[in-house]
Amino acid sequence: MQIMSVTPAEAHAASDLYLLDVREPDEVAQARVEGAHHIPLGSLADRLDEVPLDRTVHVMCHAGGRSARATQFLEAQGVDAVNVDGGITEWYRSGLPVTLGGAA
């Protein structure tokens, strides 16, 4: 199945952005995007009811691999999901806001 992907800049520019971060809690504690919703990939199936069905969900991880799998899973569940290419690594490289360190 071909998944939809967008660049971090495209995701950041989206109106009414819903950003889902599927990284592990220790990764989120190191660097995160403020306002992102955090559900680790391994918990996604159990917490599917937390994902909105009425808007596009932009899915992000560290570099794009886990978010691609999460996007594919969400689409199979009827969620309008798109993968953020390059994850938070590319988000940071693109000069978009990232909070480093501190509590998640």
Assigned token pair, 26: 């220790």
Least Cα distance to 70 among 29, 9, 10, 24 occurs for 24
CATH topology of domain 5-100: Oxidized Rhodanese; domain 1 (3.40.250)
- For 9-29, write each residue's pLDDT tens digit: 999 999 889 999 999 999 999
- For 70-101, write each residue's pLDDT tens digit: 999 999 999 999 999 999 999 999 999 999 98
* pLDDT for position 101: 87
**pTM of the full predicted structure?**
0.94
* pLDDT for position 26: 95
Assigned token pair, 78: 């009827």
Name the residue ranges covered by the structural domains of the chain.
Answer: 5-100
* pLDDT for position 104: 45
